[in-house]
Amino acid sequence: MTAIDVSNLSIDLGYGSAKKRILGDVCFSVEAGESFGLVGESGSGKSTILRCIARLLTLWEGDIELEGRSVKNMPFAEYCRMVQMVFQDPYGSLHPRQSIRTALQEPLRIHRMDRQMDRMERALVDVGLNPDFLSRYPHELSGGQRQRVAIARALILEPRILLLDEPTSALDVSVQAEVLNLLADLRARRNLTYLFVSHDLAVIDHMCERLAVMQHGRVVEVMGREVLATGRAKDPYARELIQASLEYDQAV
């Protein structure tokens, strides 16, 4: 089954001669249970696509289907139970004046779910945190712990699709590895579908089976993970990007 199907997604800003294309005819699809990467340089439109799917941006053209249904006319409550998102900046994605308990309980209250205490504790244990963390505030946690809480919050509604917007780029390298392993582990256990945005090809290589390379708001090539090792991409820009990444890794 296709979990995410994006076809002809485009965004134009401005009017008349000042009209500027931000995203142009983006097409890709992600199978259920698959982890799909979006890579590209800064400003290539990776996060914008994610925000369109997340319904945080609404002024786009084209079609986005989740499990065969268009996001535009899906009931919002149902949509929330299907898709959740983990944001890039763990310092900005948790409300600074809400305890972890409030952050986790809000979605449960909104959707009137049962066994709230139980679910909250399990959500924290699932991301490798002690249930004692419920009474803490975000400023008392490290970056990695915050990102774990953000993942717990995203998963507490038991979504089938998780949108990940560079979830580890703001973290220290060792913490980055822990969070990536956690995400891989959660996907295996819960059979989640990931749409993973990153500019780090090493992270994508570790996390995803397939990926799309983006440049200037367009998908230039969709390829399998194995291409990253060989560097045999068809598109010249994708080849250049992979080559640069390989050389950088060797230099480091």
Closest C-alpha among 122, 189, 133 to residue 114: 122
Segment interacting with other proteins, rule: CB under 8 A, options 33-41, 58-66, 124-132, 215-223: 124-132
User: CA 185 from chain center: how many Å?
Assistant: 16
**The two structure tokens encoding residue 133:** 């963390």
Q: Does 128 engage in binding with other proteins (CB under 8 A)?
A: yes
Cα 50 to Cα 72: distance, rounded to the nearest angstrom: 15
Segment interacting with other proteins, rule: CB under 8 A, options 6-14, 153-161, 187-195, 210-218: 153-161
Q: How far is the CB of 54 from other proteins (least distance, A)?
A: 6
Among 176, 193, 198, 215, binds other proteins (CB under 8 A): 176
Q: How far is the CB of 178 from other proteins (least distance, A)?
A: 4
Closest C-alpha among 5, 31, 38, 67 to residue 193: 31
Q: Is residue 186 within 8 Å of residue 27, measured between CB atoms?
A: no
Strands 83-86, 161-165: pairing kind: parallel
Q: Does 83 engage in binding with other proteins (CB under 8 A)?
A: yes
Q: What residues from 193 to 212 belong to the interface with other proteins (CB under 8 A)? A: 201-203, 205-206
Q: Does 232 engage in binding with other proteins (CB under 8 A)?
A: no
Q: How far is the CB of 37 from other proteins (least distance, A)?
A: 13
Q: Does 3 engage in binding with other proteins (CB under 8 A)?
A: no
Q: Does 77 engage in binding with other proteins (CB under 8 A)?
A: yes
Segment interacting with other proteins, rule: CB under 8 A, options 2-10, 21-29, 51-59, 188-196: 51-59
Question: What count of other Cβ atoms lies within 10 Å of the Cβ of residue 231?
Answer: 14
Q: Where are the beta strands (DSSP E) in the chain?
A: 2-13, 20-31, 35-40, 61-66, 69-70, 83-86, 161-165, 193-197, 210-215, 218-224
Cα 82 to Cα 66: distance, rounded to the nearest angstrom: 9
**The two structure tokens encoding residue 190:** 């819960």
By CB under 8 A, name the binding residues for other proteins. Answer: 54-56, 76-77, 80, 83-85, 87-89, 92-99, 106-107, 110-111, 128-130, 132-133, 135-137, 144-145, 148, 150, 153-154, 157, 173-174, 176-178, 180-182, 201-203, 205-206, 228-229, 245-246, 249
